[in-house]
Chain A
Amino acid sequence: MSMISGDKSSTEILSLKSSDNEIFEVKKEVVLESITLRGMVEEDEFSDTLIPLPNVEGKILSKIIHYCQKHTEARAKVNGSEGAADSKEIKDFDSEFINVDDKTLLGIILAANYLNIKDLLDLGCQKIADNIKEKSVEDVRKTFNIKNDFTPEEEKAIREENLWAFD
C-alpha cells in the first residue's frame, strides 16, 4: 500500500464514530490502511465530517486503530518499503496484539473484513486456524462451542467419501 504524498495527508485528521457513539480522531494516513475507508475518503465525501461505522463497536475500533497506527509508523521507518512488515518488532507487536479473549478476537476479524484491512484479517484468521491445526474433530467442536449437527449415519458417509476422494 503506498502512502499518499503531500502535507495535507500527513496532518489531516479524520473522525471515526463507532456503533456505540464513541468518537476517535485519527490521522488520515492511518485511516487509509482500510481499503473500505480509503474508498469513502477518496471520494471526498467525508473530508470535514464524521465517518460513521455502525458495524464496529468502540472497544474493537480502538484496537483496530492502534494496529493501523503501529503498522503505518513501522512502514514509515523503512521509508515505505515492503521490508517493514517483516521486522521482528512488528511481528512481536502482532502476536501480542492478537493475544486477546475470544469475543474480542472474533470482533477484530469481523471488523477487519468489513473495513478490508487484509493484514489484520490474516492475523486474526491465522490465530483461529492455529487453534484448529492438528486437533481432532471433537476437540475443534469443543474449542469453538459448535454443536455436531450430523447424524451418526451422515458422519459415517462423509468419512467414507473422504477415503474415496483424495488429493
Chain B
Amino acid sequence: MANREYSGEISGLCINEVLTDDELQSILSKLPNDKDKEVFGMVCKRWLHLQSTERRKVCARAGPLMLRKMATRFTRLVELDLSQSPSRSFYPGVTDSDLAVIASGFRGLQILSLRYCKGVTDAGMVALGSGLSCLWSLDVSYCRKLTDTGLKAIAEGCGSLRRLHLVGCKYITDGLLAVLSKNCHNLEELGLEGCSNITDSGLTRLVDGCHHIKVLDINNCSNIEDIGVTSVSKACSSLRTLKLLDCYKVGDDSILSLAQCCKNLENLVIGGCRNISNESIKSLASAYCCSLKNLRMDWCLNLSDSSLSCILSQCKNLEALDIGCCEEVSDTAFQVLGSLGQDMSLKVLKINNCPKITVLGISMILEYCKKLEYLDVRSCPHVTKVGCEQVGLKFPECCHVNFTGRLFELDMVI
C-alpha cells in the first residue's frame, strides 16, 4: 500500500482537539533536527509552549530585553551559554544588568557560562549569587574585572557549586578559597589558572572543606610550593587532573605525596617544574601504572633516560606525553619500547627541543607506537624531514609529524 500522508484538511480533524500535551510532547521528541523543532514552535501558541518548556539549554547573544523574553518563554531552562569569542564580542557585551535579569528570570538555572564576557563586574556576581540557588556550574574565565567580593557572593549563595572556572581572574586571592571551603563542599572542579595571588595557605584552607576535588588547575600560580600541593593530595584522594604549569617552586615532596595519596590521577601537568628530580619521577611511574593518560613535563630539566624509560614501560595507558625541552633525554630512553611486548597506547608525543634525540630514536618510536597520531619534533637539530627520508623512515598515514614552527591543534591537548 502506498504511504498515506496525514491530511487534516481532508479529514477535517484538528490534531489539537484530539491529542493531549503528553502525546504532542512525544511527537516533539521525535524531531531531532533543531530546524524542525523551531518550526514546531511556530505553528500555534500551544505548540510554542510545549517546545519552549522542552528546551533545557540555550546559547544566546542577547541584551536584557531579549533575555527577559527568553526567561518567560523557556521556563525550564537549566543551561545558559553566553560565552564570547576571545577576540570579538558584540558591543556592549554581557553586562551586569543582563545578569540581574538572569538571576530573577531563570531561577532553576544550573549551568552558566560567561567565558570572555569581559564587561561583567562584582555587582553582576552578587545578583547571580542571590538568585540562582540551583547553580552548580559557573564559568567566568577571562572576566578580568572580578574580585573576591563578587565570587564570594557566588560561593555563599550557590552551595551546590561543583564546577567553577576562574581562568585569568587575576584579582582573586586566598580569601575566596576560604569561603569556598566553608560553603561549597561538593566542589569537584576548580580552575584557577592565572590567579597568581593564590598561595599555599589558600590551597590548604580550600581542601580543608572541599575534599571531593577531582580537577584542579593552578597553572601559572607561581607562588604555590610543596606545602600547598601536598595538602591537596592528602585531602583529595579522588584527584583526577592536576595542572601545575610553571609552578616552578613545586618539587619532589609534591610528587611523592601525589604518588602516595592520589591513586586515580589521569592527567598531570608539571611542565616548567624544573626542581623535580629523577627519583620522584620514577615513583610517579610506578604509582600511576594504570591510571595516567596525559603527562606534560616539558622543561623538567632533570629528566633522564632512566626515568623516562620507567614512565614508558610502566604507564600502560599513557596516551599523551610532552617532554619538550628536556635536554638530557636521548635515544636510549626509547630502547625500552622493544622489550615491552605490548602495543603502546601513545597517541601524542612531543619531543621538541630535545637535542640528543636522533632519527634512530624516532624509528624506535614509530616501530612500537602504532597508534601515534601526532609527533612534535620541532627544533630537534638531529631530526629533520630530509634526515628521516634519507634513512627510509615511513610515517604512518594517520600520524601527523611537525618538523617546523607552526602550532598544530593537538599541541593544546595536554
Contact = CB atoms under 8 A, between A and B. Distances in A.
Interface of A: 96, 99-103, 105-106, 109-110, 113, 121-122, 125-129, 131-137, 140-150, 155, 157-162, 164-167
A132 B5 CA distance: 11
Interface string B1-35: 10111111111111110111011001101110110
B249 interface: no
Contact of A145 (B1, B9, B27): B9
A99 B14 contact: no
29 contacts: A99-B3, A99-B4, A102-B11, A103-B13, A106-B18, A113-B23, A121-B26, A122-B30, A127-B6, A128-B6, A128-B30, A132-B40, A134-B36, A137-B42, A143-B7, A145-B11, A146-B16, A146-B44, A147-B14, A148-B43, A148-B44, A150-B42, A160-B66, A161-B66, A161-B70, A162-B38, A164-B60, A165-B58, A165-B74
A157 B69 contact: yes
A128 B69 CA distance: 30
A89 B262 CA distance: 55
B39 interface: yes
A161 B16 CA distance: 25
A44 to B, nearest CB: 29
Contacts of B385: none
Contacts of A157: 69
A103 B30 CA distance: 20
A158 B48 contact: yes
B42 A113 contact: no
B273 to A, nearest CB: 41
B57 A150 contact: no
B9 A142 contact: yes
Interface residues of B, number: 49
Interface centre among A105, A129, A142, A165 (most CB of B within 10 A): A165
A130 B93 CA distance: 40
B30 A158 contact: no
A155 B39 CA distance: 12
B62 interface: yes
Contact of B61 (A121, A126, A164): A164
From DSSP, what is the main secondary structure of chain A's interface residues? helix
B22 to A, nearest CB: 6
A134 B31 CA distance: 10
Contacts of A159: 42
B42 A158 contact: yes
B30 A129 contact: yes
B73 interface: yes
B340 interface: no
B41 A100 contact: no
B394 interface: no
B336 interface: no
A157 B74 CA distance: 14
B14 A146 contact: yes
Given A99-B3, A143-B8, A109 B44 contact: no
A96 B2 CA distance: 9
Contact of A113 (B5, B26, B43): B26
B20 to A, nearest CB: 8
A133 B33 contact: yes
B33 A109 contact: no
Contact of A125 (B1, B6, B27, B57): B27
Contacts of A144: 6, 8, 14-16, 43
Given A129-B30, A144-B8, A165-B60, A109 B19 contact: yes
Interface centre among A121, A149, A161 (most CB of B within 10 A): A161
A113 B22 contact: yes
Nearest to B58: A165
Interface string B88-114: 000000000000000000000000000
B31 A145 contact: no
A150 B66 contact: no
A99 B3 CA distance: 6
Nearest to A155: B42
A149 B13 contact: no
Contact of B6 (A121, A143, A155, A166): A143
B406 interface: no
A160 B66 CA distance: 9
Contacts of B9: 142-143, 145
Given A100-B4, A125-B23, 14 more contacts: A99-B1, A102-B8, A122-B30, A125-B29, A125-B30, A128-B30, A142-B9, A144-B8, A144-B15, A144-B16, A145-B14, A155-B42, A165-B70, A167-B57
Nearest to B80: A165
A141 B18 contact: no
Contacts of B29: 125
A167 B60 CA distance: 8
Contact of A132 (B20, B31, B34): B31
B5 A131 contact: yes
B14 to A, nearest CB: 5
A103 to B, nearest CB: 6
Contacts of B1: 96, 99
Given A102-B13, A110-B19, A132 B62 contact: no
